[in-house]
């Protein structure tokens, strides 16, 4: 494979930890940027120690830190600080996720960096921005899901509130941050000036709830817990067959009579008033009970064969182990086994990302010597040395 050439020569400093900021930096690295991960002693990024581990490296860390080089910088050490600022002078982009007040107390605010490099594009990733909430509340994905209202309609009616399992706000905020950088690079190409971006998980949360929020503004009704259902369509949900589960998604009026015919409900004289989506939504639970009783009588494969023939949107509910072996996964070339490492990586969902050469996630401080050599600075600390705790 050939290295993606979108951003050759672009240098990104990744001072962020956990998921959102590092993911933004990884996206740019996949597109050809030279990403230097600046980590704090003694243990580096917080996710390096999390279970499970593969080949001595945390899978959480591996998921968002490929195509990077690592150097450890002690912000309290004058020599290390100078290394950081020399790196800033060579950089195009700096991404950080410092806790509130951390940067200002240590002279690591964007204004400090911009004084050394006026063309620098800074990205400060946070959970709640710079206001009072951002100053007092920790910035975890699940916490933002809760505070934003996103969790209030996630799960099944009557059940305890649950979070969306993937770190959806961290990852999508990382995507927004990367898109923001791309736009800022274009603006800088014209103006020659850097700028400071402030992506926040709370902003992302309200964006991913866009149609639920617009519905609330229009009607004043709170979004409901619908399990696998959809607020604007019915029948739409997961139904249990006698050997597994399948999802049926009838998102149009045209599909409903065909679904009734396949299930044999047309012979039972389905109420003509259910022809419209709004009427079906109002009687969602009644319709679901009728469908569930029918689906329970046969196997998933039998139902899928008949439903697909009738052009009904449907699919088996797979486990992860089943899903990764679907033919479409190989067709889309989603996974890459990196050489000399047990780590499997997932390509970005853009065509260009499939052409990127992936260097494995870096060991802590593994590239200190080569980075310092590029800066013409003598390496006074060998890899693997210990630091006092911060």
pLDDT value at position 271?
74
pLDDT tens digits, one per residue of 71-87: 999 999 999 999 999 99
30, 68 contact by CB (below 8 A): no
Residue 216 has pLDDT above 90, yes or no: yes
Q: In the block, which residue shows the tokens 């009728």?
A: 290
pLDDT value at position 1?
35
Q: How far is CA 366 from CA 70, 73, 283, 371, 389, in A?
A: 6, 12, 61, 10, 19
Q: How far apart are CA 106 and CA 32, in angstroms?
A: 31
Half-sphere exposure of 259 (CA within 13 A, CB side): 26
**What are the structure tokens assigned to 376, written together?**
């013409």
Residue 148 has pLDDT above 80, yes or no: yes
Residue-range domain boundaries for the chain? 11-208+357-374, 236-318
- The mean per-residue pLDDT over the stretch 36-60 comes to 95
- The mean per-residue pLDDT over the stretch 375-384 comes to 70
Question: Which residue would you say has higher pLDDT here, 358 or 355?
Answer: 358
Q: In the block, which residue shows the tokens 């780590």?
A: 343
Residue 352 has pLDDT above 50, yes or no: yes
Local structure of 262: helix, strand or coil? helix
- The mean per-residue pLDDT over the stretch 252-277 comes to 83
pLDDT value at position 384?
45
126, 103 contact by CB (below 8 A): no
- Percent of the chain at pLDDT > 70 equals 93
CATH number of the structural domain 236-318? 3.30.1540.10
347, 27 contact by CB (below 8 A): no
Mean pLDDT check: name the lowest of 119-128, 223-232, 267-276, 372-381: 267-276
Q: What is the band of 342 on the pLDDT scale with cuts at 50, 70, 90?
A: confident
Q: Which residues are catalytic?
A: 170
- Superfamily holding 11-208+357-374: Crotonobetainyl-coa:carnitine coa-transferase; domain 1 (3.40.50.10540)
Cα three-residue angle 203-204-209, rounded to 5 degrees: 105
pLDDT tens digits, one per residue of 89-104: 999 999 999 998 899 9
**H helix count then E strand count, the chain:** 17, 13
- Please name which of 44, 14, 38 lies closest in space to residue 387, comparing C-alpha atoms: 44
- The mean per-residue pLDDT over the stretch 307-319 comes to 97
Mean model confidence pLDDT for the chain: 91
pLDDT tens digits, one per residue of 3-37: 456 788 899 999 999 999 999 999 999 999 999 99
Burial environment of residue 299 by CB neighbours within 10 A (0 to 12, 13 to 18, 19 or more) = middle
E-state strands within 162-265: 195-197, 236-241, 244-249
DSSP string, 299-362: -HHHHHHHHHHTT--EEE---HHHHTTSHHHHHTT-EEE-TTSS-EEE--SSGGGGG---PPPP
């Amino acid at each position: 494979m050939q290295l993606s050439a979108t951003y050759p020569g672009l240098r990104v400093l990744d001072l962020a930890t956990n998921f959102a900021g590092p993911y933004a930096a990884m996206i740019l690295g996949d597109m050809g940027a030279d990403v230097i991960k600046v980590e704090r002693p003694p243990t580096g990024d917080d996710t390096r120690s999390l279970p499970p581990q593969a080949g001595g490296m945390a899978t959480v860390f591996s998921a968002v830190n490929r195509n990077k080089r690592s150097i450890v910088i002690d912000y309290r050490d004058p020599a290390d600080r100078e290394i950081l600022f020399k790196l800033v002078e060579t950089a195009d982009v700096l991404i950080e996720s410092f806790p509130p007040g951390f940067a200002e107390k240590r002279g690591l605010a964007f204004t400090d960096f911009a004084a050394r490099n006026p063309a620098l594009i800074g990205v400060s990733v946070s959970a709640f921005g710079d206001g009072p909430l951002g100053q007092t509340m920790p910035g975890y994905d699940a916490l933002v899901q809760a505070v934003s209202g996103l969790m209030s309609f996630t799960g099944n009616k009557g059940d305890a509130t649950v979070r969306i399992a993937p770190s959806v706000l961290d990852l999508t905020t990382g995507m927004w941050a990367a898109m923001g950088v791309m736009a800022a690079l274009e603006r800088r190409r014209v103006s020659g000036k850097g700028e400071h971006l402030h992506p926040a998980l709370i902003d992302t949360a309200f964006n991913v709830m866009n149609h639920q929020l617009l519905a609330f503004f229009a009607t004043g009704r709170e979004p409901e817990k619908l399990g696998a259902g959809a607020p604007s369509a019915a029948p739409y949900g997961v139904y249990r067959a006698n050997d597994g589960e399948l999802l049926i998604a009838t998102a149009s009026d045209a599909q409903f009579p065909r679904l009734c015919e396949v299930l044999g409900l047309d012979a039972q004289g389905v109420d003509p008033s259910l022809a419209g989506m709004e009427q079906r939504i109002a009687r969602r639970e009644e319709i679901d009970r009728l469908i569930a009783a029918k689906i329970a009588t046969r196997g998933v494969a039998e139902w899928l064969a008949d439903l697909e023939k009738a052009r009904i949107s449907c699919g088996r509910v797979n486990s992860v182990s089943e899903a990764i072996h679907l033919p479409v996964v190989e067709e889309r070339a989603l996974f890459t086994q990196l050489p000399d490492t047990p780590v499997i990586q997932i390509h970005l969902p853009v065509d260009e990302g499939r052409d990127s050469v992936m260097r494995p996630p870096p060991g802590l401080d593994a590239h200190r010597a080569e980075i310092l050599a590029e800066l013409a600075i003598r390496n006074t600390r060998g890899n693997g040395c210990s630091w006092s705790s911060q």
